[in-house]
Amino acid sequence: MRVRLPLGRTLFFLCAFFFAIVALLPLRFAVTTLGLDRGGFAAREVEGSIWTGLFREAQWNGSVLGDLRARLATLPLLAGRARVELRGTADAPALDGALVATRHTLGIADMTARIAAPGFLAPLPIASLDLTGLDASFSDAGCLSAKGGVAATFAPNAGLPLAAAFSGTARCEGSALLLPLRSPDGAQTAEIRLHPDGRYAVRLTLLASRGASDAALAAAGFVSTNGGYIIDRQGRF
């Protein structure tokens, strides 16, 4: 004898079944499936489900982010976007924002964070980066959109007469995400270009030597030009 369930009850059990499967998906599955690791994001351990999980010892291109709580937002899924909201734990640096992925794009949204960055983007002696409401979206072709504030705090360096901090507003320039930073008096600038394939380019410009000798600046890699003392570097994360 066959038992036939009413259509409404059948749909209920099917929906409950699929919801249970999705609810139990591990957070690690979401990271690899959505390609969130393509942008240089990594963690020593990934715990929990996509609805409530934890990234232990998270990093972005080698810069320490600490432990981060994570959850997948529901409503953006209806628009074909996966939004993984991140928040630092009590023992981690302040971080609040999201990783956002679609079929063809990857980026960050509403990101406010302080990122410890020793040795980040040499030759700039950056000690930390402060992001304020930073949005940035990339496709395989490059930067699609960017906005928000960025500030860099520099470690003391006797060989480079740099201001203690630079700041600026992020934007796209060609295929790169451009962070155009400037000292408070405008006499020093740092342009950081980040490409979706992991390449970066840095240009540091000093309009005046600020007491440092030409020999000392040359030893640090600066070249004297009509526009000041300039150093250019390229690399890959």
Beta bridge partners of 72: 84
C-beta atoms surrounding 44 within 10 Å: 10
When pLDDT is averaged across residues 116-142 and rounded to a whole number, the result is: 82
Return the structure tokens found at 137: 């979206």
Please report the pLDDT score of residue 30 as a whole number: 65
8-state DSSP, 103:
S
Query: Measured on CA atoms in the order 48, 53, 57, 59, is the torsion positive or negative?
Result: positive
Q: Taking a C-beta distance cutoff of 8 angstroms, is the pair 98, 82 a contact?
A: no
Please report the pLDDT score of residue 123 as a whole number: 65
User: What is the pTM assigned to this prediction?
Assistant: 0.79
pLDDT at residue 20 is higher than 90: no
- State the residue for tokens 């006797």: 158
Instruction: Write out pLDDT tens, residues 22-78.
Output: 545 677 766 666 666 666 778 888 888 778 888 888 887 777 788 889 888 878 877
Instruction: Write out pLDDT tens, residues 159-197.
Output: 677 888 899 999 999 999 999 999 998 888 999 999 888
